[in-house]
Structure 1
């Protein structure tokens, strides 16, 4: 009988330890799961903070372009009403059709970039009745391109478009040359892109 009681007691203790082990294992799994979730949550929070930082840096980087376009829209179109004797320096395109942002000065013929960005600059000239016209497109005084017309019997047109980055304060203009004779309704247009 002692054997039976001892055997039952041993089986009971084994069962108790097994149940206790199972409970400890379950508790450990739950703690591991909590730690796993906490680690996963911490990792997710760290990743969110990293992505938020990246997004902020991209916004700041793109602000130099799109943000400033919205704050400083820039576009103008102007005609020259000169019919003879264009100046050797900047040509004042004095008949302003549009001057969004007021970055073009029709008195001087100089456009000043209000913000850094990519700009598209177009210049067209027309010479009449055998009169040659030579015009240079300049950035901060440096020649970037030339236009030339011979001005045949009915007149000739020359156009040039430049797409180039400008920094805040850069100046652009079209200038005549000493051999400029006559022009008829020359056109200059600038606008900012991004």
Structure 2
């Protein structure tokens, strides 16, 4: 009988302690803060810090992935329908075959980045027999790549692709400065071309 009374007494004491602790945690924020600090000190801090870092990295990766999924696709493909023989000009790829995101403007021949990210651009240049041409891919007036084509025996086309990190509002276009004298266009064959696609939001 005495043992049962002791057990009951311990149970009552334990319940009272739990109830009191819950009350204190709800009513006393400072005590709750102190208790949490004590728990952290008793844990393996290095292990806990490592777990927090891992969780932080996973959250950041998921946020980037989510941003990409939320953003509408961005991609374009434009063709040139008229041959170009003059120099020092932007090439106006006038026939738009694809323009997801409406970021390419055929009137000016330029692409304006709608979002910061990693983009891939491709440029195809063509030259008539006994002529050659050099086209330059430009980002905000800076040359980021070139395409050279030409042959003495036949018409020739060459392509080049470029990976470029852009910020929102960056201006991308293709120009012909002074190297070469004839950019051949063949609308029936669908060349030359200028295209781009958003690979990843940054």
Structure-1-length-normalised TM-score: 0.70
Structure 1 residue runs of 4 or more that deviate by more than 2 Å after TM superposition: 25-37, 54-66
Aligned partners of 2:181 and 2:156: how far apart in 1? 14
1:66 pairs with 2:48:
no
Which residue number corresponds to residue 154 of structure 1? 154
Aligned partners of 2:193 and 2:160: how far apart in 1? 11
Structure 2 residue aligned with 1:26, among 3, 11, 23?
11
Report matched runs for 1:102-181 at 5 Å: 102-181=102-181
User: CA distance change for structure 1 residues 129 and 102 in 2, over 3 Å: closer, same or farther?
Assistant: same
**8 Å contact 1:76–1:104 — kept in the other structure?**
yes
**8 Å contact 1:65–1:116 — kept in the other structure?**
no
Task: Kindly name which structure, 1 or 2, has the bigger radius of gyration based on alpha carbons.
Answer: 1
Number of equivalences = 164
Aligned partners of 1:146 and 1:93: how far apart in 2? 16
1:188 pairs with 2:194:
yes
Aligned partners of 1:188 and 1:154: how far apart in 2? 22
SS, match of residue 12 in structure 2: helix
CA-CA distance at 1:88 after TM superposition: 1.5
**8 Å contact 2:78–2:193 — kept in the other structure?**
yes
**8 Å contact 1:132–1:151 — kept in the other structure?**
yes
Aligned partners of 2:155 and 2:142: how far apart in 1? 29
- Gapped runs of 5+ residues in structure 2? 23-31, 37-51, 186-190
CA-CA distance at 1:26 after TM superposition: 3.4
- Cα shift readout 1:115-169 (whole Å, capped 9, x = no counterpart): 1122111111111201110111111110011111123322222211112221110
Which residue number corresponds to residue 78 of structure 2? 78
- Gapped runs of 5+ residues in structure 1? 1-14, 44-49
